[in-house]
Chain A
Amino acid sequence: MLQYLLKRLLIFIPTIIVISLLMFILSANAPGDPVELMLNKNSGNEGKSSQKLSTEKAYNELRHKLGFDLPLFYFSFTNSTSSDTLHRVSKKAHRDNLNRLSSTYGKWSNVAAYYKSVRDFENAIFTVNRNDSNAIALNSVKERINDLYKTYEEEKVALYFSDIEKVYASTPDLSSTSDSFQKAKQAYSSMLVNQNSIAKYIPSIHFYGFENQYHRWITNFVKGDFGISYRDKRPVWSVLKDALRWTILLSTISIFLAYILAIPIGVMSAVKKGTMQERATTTTLFILYSLPSFWIATILIIYFCGGDYFDWFPAFGLGTLPPDAPFAERFMETAYHLILPIFCLSYGSLAYISRQMRGGMLNVIGQDYIRTARAKGLEDKKVVWKHAFRNSLLPILTLFANIFPAAISGSFVIEFIFSIPGMGMTSLGALNARDYPIVFTAVMFTAILTLVGTLVADMLYAVVDPRISFSNKK
Chain B
Amino acid sequence: MSDSKEIKTVSASDQSFWSNVKRQFRKNKLAVYSLRFIYVLIFIAVFADFIANEKPIACKYNDAVYFPLLKSYSVDLGLSNWQPEFQNVTWKDLEYEWVVFPPVPYLPKNIDSYNSQSVSPFAEQEVKSTRWKHWLGTDELGHDILAAMIHGTRISLQVGLISQSIAAVIGILLGALAGYYGDDRLKISRGRLIMNIVFMFLAFFYGFGSRSYILGDALSISFGKFFLELLISFVIMAVIFAIGNLLAMALKAIPFFRQKVNIAVDIVVSRMIEIMVSIPTLFLIIAIVAIAKPSIILVMAIIGMTTWTGIARFIRAELLKVRNLEFIESAHALGFSEMRTLFRHAIPNALSPVLIAIAFGIAAAILIESTLSFLGIGVPAETLTWGSVLSAARQSPTAWWLAIFPGFAIFLTVTVYNLVGEGLTDALDPRQKK
Residue of A nearest to B366 (CB): A292
B274 near A302 with CB under 8 A, answer no
Q: Which of A78, A79, A286, A439 contacts B287 (CB 8 A)?
A: A439
Point out the residues of chain B lying under 8 angstroms from A451, CB to CB. Answer: 274, 278
A201-B206, A290-B415, A302-B400 given as contacts; is B213 within 8 A of A100 (CB)? yes
Complex CA–CA separation, A417 to B375 (angstroms): 9
Mask, A5-44, CB within 8 Å of B = 1, is 0000001001100110011001001110000000000000
Q: Is A357 an interface residue (CB 8 A)?
A: no
The interface residues of chain A, by DSSP majority, are classed as helix
User: Which one of A171-179, A247-255, A424-432 contacts B?
Assistant: A424-432
Mask, B251-279, CB within 8 Å of A = 1, is 00000000000000000000100110111
Point out the residues of chain B lying under 8 angstroms from A298, CB to CB. Answer: 390, 393-394, 403, 407
A302 near B375 with CB under 8 A, answer no
A30 near B410 with CB under 8 A, answer no
In B275-304, the 8 Å CB interface with A consists of: 275, 277-280, 282-283, 286-288, 290-291
Residue of B nearest to A290 (CB): B415
Q: Is B374 an interface residue (CB 8 A)?
A: yes
B411 near A15 with CB under 8 A, answer no
A292-B407, A301-B394, A413-B375 given as contacts; is B288 within 8 A of A15 (CB)? no
A79 near B209 with CB under 8 A, answer yes
Residue of A nearest to B416 (CB): A290
A15-B271, A26-B288, A451-B274 given as contacts; is B374 within 8 A of A294 (CB)? yes
A77-B201, A412-B282, A446-B283 given as contacts; is B397 within 8 A of A299 (CB)? no
Point out the residues of chain A lying under 8 angstroms from B374, CB to CB. Answer: 294, 413
User: Which one of A133-141, A259-267, A305-313 contacts B?
Assistant: A305-313
Mask, B402-417, CB within 8 Å of A = 1, is 0110011011001100
Q: Which of B275, B287, B404, B411 contacts A431 (CB 8 A)?
A: B287
Complex CA–CA separation, A427 to B398 (angstroms): 30
Residue of A nearest to B419 (CB): A286
Point out the residues of chain A lying under 8 angstroms from B407, CB to CB. Answer: 292, 295, 298-299
B279 near A79 with CB under 8 A, answer no
Q: Which of B202, B209, B375, B418 contacts A428 (CB 8 A)?
A: B375
Q: Is B165 an interface residue (CB 8 A)?
A: no
B414 near A443 with CB under 8 A, answer no
Residue of A nearest to B211 (CB): A200
Point out the residues of chain A lying under 8 angstroms from B280, CB to CB. Answer: 405, 409, 443, 446
Complex CA–CA separation, A427 to B279 (angstroms): 13
Q: Is A434 an interface residue (CB 8 A)?
A: yes
Residue of B nearest to A299 (CB): B403
Q: Which of B278, B291, B390, B418 contacts A290 (CB 8 A)?
A: B418
Point out the residues of chain B lying under 8 angstroms from A306, CB to CB. Answer: 397
Q: Is B43 an interface residue (CB 8 A)?
A: no
B414 near A292 with CB under 8 A, answer yes
Residue of B nearest to A448 (CB): B278
B411 near A295 with CB under 8 A, answer yes
Point out the residues of chain B lying under 8 angstroms from A303, CB to CB. Answer: 400
Complex CA–CA separation, A300 to B306 (angstroms): 31
Q: Is A47 an interface residue (CB 8 A)?
A: no
A295-B390, A295-B411, A305-B397 given as contacts; is B283 within 8 A of A443 (CB)? yes
Complex CA–CA separation, A428 to B375 (angstroms): 9
Q: How far is the CB of B96 from chain A (nearest CB, A)?
A: 40
Q: Is B309 an interface residue (CB 8 A)?
A: no
Point out the residues of chain B lying under 8 angstroms from A427, CB to CB. Answer: 283
Q: Is B53 an interface residue (CB 8 A)?
A: no
Mask, A427-450, CB within 8 Å of B = 1, is 110011010000100110011001
Q: Is B205 an interface residue (CB 8 A)?
A: yes
Complex CA–CA separation, A289 to B404 (angstroms): 18
Q: Is A416 an interface residue (CB 8 A)?
A: yes
Q: Is A396 an interface residue (CB 8 A)?
A: no
Q: Is A468 an interface residue (CB 8 A)?
A: no
Interface size class of A (residues with CB under 8 A): 35 or more
A298-B393, A302-B393, A416-B375 given as contacts; is B414 within 8 A of A290 (CB)? yes
Complex CA–CA separation, A337 to B403 (angstroms): 22
In B201-243, the 8 Å CB interface with A consists of: 201-202, 205-206, 209-210, 213
Q: Is B371 an interface residue (CB 8 A)?
A: yes
Complex CA–CA separation, A454 to B414 (angstroms): 27
Mask, B166-209, CB within 8 Å of A = 1, is 00000000000000000000000000000000000110011001
Q: Is A466 an interface residue (CB 8 A)?
A: no
Residue of B nearest to A298 (CB): B403
- Of B201, B205, B408, most A-chain CB atoms within 10 Å: B205
Residue of A nearest to B267 (CB): A11
B397 near A31 with CB under 8 A, answer no
Q: Is A460 an interface residue (CB 8 A)?
A: no
Complex CA–CA separation, A450 to B284 (angstroms): 15
Q: Is B153 an interface residue (CB 8 A)?
A: no
Complex CA–CA separation, A310 to B165 (angstroms): 45
Q: Is A157 an interface residue (CB 8 A)?
A: no
Point out the residues of chain B lying under 8 angstroms from A18, CB to CB. Answer: 271, 275
Q: Is A203 an interface residue (CB 8 A)?
A: yes
Complex CA–CA separation, A160 to B205 (angstroms): 34
B410 near A292 with CB under 8 A, answer yes
A294 near B290 with CB under 8 A, answer no
- Of A287, A295, A315, A443, most B-chain CB atoms within 10 Å: A295
Residue of A nearest to B216 (CB): A100
Point out the residues of chain B lying under 8 angstroms from A308, CB to CB. Answer: 398, 400
Q: How far is the CB of A108 from chain B (nearest CB, A)?
A: 15
Q: Is B45 an interface residue (CB 8 A)?
A: no
Q: Is A103 an interface residue (CB 8 A)?
A: yes
Residue of A nearest to B212 (CB): A103
Point out the residues of chain B lying under 8 angstroms from A409, CB to CB. Answer: 280, 283
Point out the residues of chain B lying under 8 angstroms from A53, CB to CB. Answer: none
A15-B278, A19-B279, A427-B283 given as contacts; is B370 within 8 A of A292 (CB)? yes
Q: Is A291 an interface residue (CB 8 A)?
A: yes
In A289-346, the 8 Å CB interface with B consists of: 289-292, 294-295, 298-299, 301-303, 305-308, 315
Q: List 21 A-B contacts (CB under 8 A).
A: A15-B278, A18-B271, A19-B275, A23-B279, A23-B287, A30-B291, A31-B291, A77-B201, A79-B210, A103-B210, A290-B411, A292-B410, A294-B390, A295-B410, A298-B394, A298-B407, A409-B283, A417-B394, A427-B283, A443-B283, A446-B283
Kindly list 14 other residue pairs between chains A and B, CB separation below 8 angstroms, not including A29-B291, A292-B410: A19-B275, A22-B275, A78-B209, A290-B415, A292-B411, A295-B410, A298-B393, A302-B397, A315-B397, A409-B280, A412-B375, A434-B290, A446-B279, A450-B278
Closest 5 CB pairs of A and B: A295-B407, A447-B278, A290-B415, A450-B278, A307-B397
B residues near A (Cβ < 8 Å) are: 201-202, 205-206, 209-210, 213, 271, 274-275, 277-280, 282-283, 286-288, 290-291, 367, 370-371, 374-375, 377, 390, 393-394, 397-398, 400, 403-404, 407-408, 410-411, 414-415, 418
